[in-house]
């Protein structure tokens, strides 16, 4: 039994959130987008309340950057896909165990690849929990 995969996006740029929401709905129909947030503090509260499977996360944001947000949510129980305009954070991102790192503007093929890897990882985790 495959559970529905949920996702939310946190990016201080509303247009980026809207574009990502449209692309996820178009290219990844098995993902249910449950919210987009421009304020990372509100996004963090949404993660706690809604427990999404995947979080699309910008890095450079006011109040709380993407790394600080993840630090406050330890242990991380969701897959993280960074979506950012800055490539200089890639190494730090992968060291922090994020699933993928997409550069804006996001290429549909890269989005689909990242989402399918996230889905596969979520299903593997779910199957191993069922076996235990």
Reply yes or no on whether the pLDDT at 92 is more than 70. yes
Q: What is the pLDDT of residue 4?
A: 86
Each residue's pLDDT tens digit, 32-61: 999 999 999 999 999 999 999 999 999 999
Q: How confident is the model at residue 130 (pLDDT cuts 50, 70, 90)?
A: confident
Q: Report the share of the chain in percent with pLDDT over 70.
A: 98
* ∠ Cα 56 1 114 (to 5°): 25
* Contact criterion met (CB below 8 Å) for 21 and 108: no
Each residue's pLDDT tens digit, 105-127: 999 999 999 999 999 999 998 88
């Amino acid at each position: 039994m495959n559970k529905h995969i949920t996702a939310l996006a946190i990016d201080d740029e509303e247009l980026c959130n809207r574009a990502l929401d449209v692309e996820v709905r178009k290219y990844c129909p098995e993902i249910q987008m449950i919210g987009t947030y421009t304020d990372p503090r509100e996004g963090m509260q949404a993660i706690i309340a809604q427990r999404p499977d995947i979080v699309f996360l910008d890095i450079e944001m006011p109040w709380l950057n993407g790394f600080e947000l993840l630090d406050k949510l330890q242990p991380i129980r969701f897959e993280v896909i960074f979506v950012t305009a800055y490539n200089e954070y890639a190494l730090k991102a992968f060291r922090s165990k994020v699933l993928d790192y997409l550069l804006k503007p996001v290429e549909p093929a890269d989005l689909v690849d990242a989402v399918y890897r996230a889905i596969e990882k979520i299903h593997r985790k779910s199957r191993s929990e069922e076996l235990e």
